[in-house]
């Protein structure tokens, strides 16, 4: 085969889904601080740079929290991809958080 006529396969671009989340916290409350730390660890390990996180302090933006249906903090809302999900608490139950975010935990 003539080398000039040979087709070279290029790797296809990987399809990446960005997980969009909102974390509702109450200032520097202990559970809010734990929720931020736990979510940061989960994102670092499982999502790398494939996530978008908005942290909303309900003490600064109470109307936003009420409009979004948030009554308890800390609360995490997965906005996209579908299906949407909500988790209440400090996010220490990694399995529950991963499930809500649609992430399968690898078994090693």
- The tens digit of pLDDT for each residue in 32-67 reads 999 999 999 999 999 888 999 999 999 999 999 999
- Token readout for 59 is 């003490």
The ranges assigned to domains in the chain are: 17-101
Beta-ladder partners of 85 = 78
Q: Is 33 helix (H, G, I), strand (E, B) or coil?
A: helix
- The tens digit of pLDDT for each residue in 4-38 reads 555 444 343 343 689 999 999 999 999 999 999 99
Which CATH number is associated with domain 17-101? 3.40.30.10
């Amino acid at each position: 085969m003539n080398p000039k006529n040979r087709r070279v396969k290029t790797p296809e671009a990987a399809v990446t889904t960005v997980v969009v989340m909102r974390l509702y916290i109450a200032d520097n409350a202990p559970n809010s601080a734990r929720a931020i730390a736990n979510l940061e660890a989960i994102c670092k390990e499982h999502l790398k740079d494939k996530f978008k996180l908005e942290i909303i302090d309900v003490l600064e933006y109470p109307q936003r929290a009420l409009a979004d249906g948030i009554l308890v903090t800390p609360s995490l809302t997965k906005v996209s991809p579908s299906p949407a999900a909500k988790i209440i608490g400090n996010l220490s139950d990694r399995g529950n958080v991963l499930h809500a975010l649609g992430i399968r935990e690898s078994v090693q």
